[in-house]
Structure 1
Amino acid sequence: MTSKQPLVSIRNVTAGYDRNPVLTNVNLDIYPNDFIGVIGPNGGGKTTLSKVLLGILKPYRGKVLFPSGHLNIGYLPQVSQVDRSFPITVQEAVLSGISSRRNWWKPISRGIQSKAEQLISDLGLHDFKERPVGQLSGGQLQRVLLARAIINDPQLLILDEPNTFADRTFEKELYQILESLNQSMTIFLISHDIGTISSIVKTIACVNGTLHYHPSNVLTAEVLQVYNCPIDLITHGELPHRVLKKHS
């Protein structure tokens, strides 16, 4: 992987809000077809890092470099960040994912319309395509947001806690979809559930004020301690169990 040119290089980035740093001196190279699971405690900076990558948040110090000059990024936000009152249908929401790459006065091509229809159908939303997004369940809205994020065939797909409101059936389907998408794009998946995502991600980034990149999907409690990543490590054997610190 390291022989390839990275899609993104984050160099010595410090970022936060109101001059209060959330991330300090973060460095990371994101390579083609990596599947990074991003873990860490609440408030550790996972979402802040995604905002820096998306260009929504400008770092106080450091740089985000795109060696190829341009990067097409898809983004699936947390459902809680979506304005459900906005008057838009499922189909319109999916098609809005291509608005930034076309001139507003040009009609949407038949090919794009067809692609949107296919994505809506593939994600089990065909019967809801004319329904306002405000009338959808959390899981249905996640499907819409995923279709919107990938309609542009992004090189990098960023997902922020995509399973928060997903129903159990779609959660399983989602990870299968992501594994398939990873063949053609890099995935940056923020999640609190390392036990679930460890079976599908390739590498892991522990974010807690700074960032430690682990070039494998295998973690131990000792590694998490070294990385200062204070989360419960859940593993799956015949019975799921947590690996916790010894009690003194």
Structure 2
Amino acid sequence: MADAETEARRHAYQQRMAGAGRPSGSTEPQVTVGRTSLPASGPVPRPAGAARDLKSLRMAGLWLAILAVMAVVAFAGIKAMQWHDTRAAEAAARTAAANKVAAILDESIVGRQNLLTAIGLIRKCKIGDATRRGIQNAAKNRQTLLAKVTVLDTSPLPEGAEIKSGLQAALARSLEADEAYLKWYDAAKGHCPKQSGRLFAAIDKANERSQDAKAAFLAVWNPVAREYELPERDKSSI
């Protein structure tokens, strides 16, 4: 009996000691955050507004990434268009330069024909103003074309510098031949010029230099003419 009473008293004492360290009716200490009471231990719940803010930040980052990609694509497109426009402009410049050279060669045919007509009259001993004027017109044609070539821009063409200098040389040598013919003609003083002597030999030398210059020019020009679908030439056609 005494033992049972002692045991009951010990049990009651343990229960009082277990509840002595905490407030009445509370099972866990509480802390206050703002107006919300939270347990003092364990994970702190995230406010609902914070989740929305994080989602908004992620969406903003996604849109920024999309805009950055779009900007890169747009920039690449602009650069591609600029490259295409540049290439097209360069091709147009090359074509224009080639056509200008071809036009000068077309004009040179007129001068050559004037000289050939005059030579034909001289061989028939048809001496007169028309014969001399034919030689003069040939020389004037070369002079006019030389002036055009001097200001001609052939730089867009791959061999532009060689084409320009070669054409200048061909025209200059042809002009020298025209002048040699005119000296030979005038030396006859209205008579049929002799196809011999120093002045006639000078014509042969001038013609030889002219033919060499034409050949050198055409070696550079004709491949370009083929590329741009322009007429190829030979020494007798310019």
Higher strand proportion (structure 1 or 2): 1
Q: TM-score, normalised by structure 1?
A: 0.24
Give 1 or 2: higher helix fraction: 2
Structure with higher Rg: it is 2
Larger RCO, structure (CA 8 Å, separation 6 or more): 1
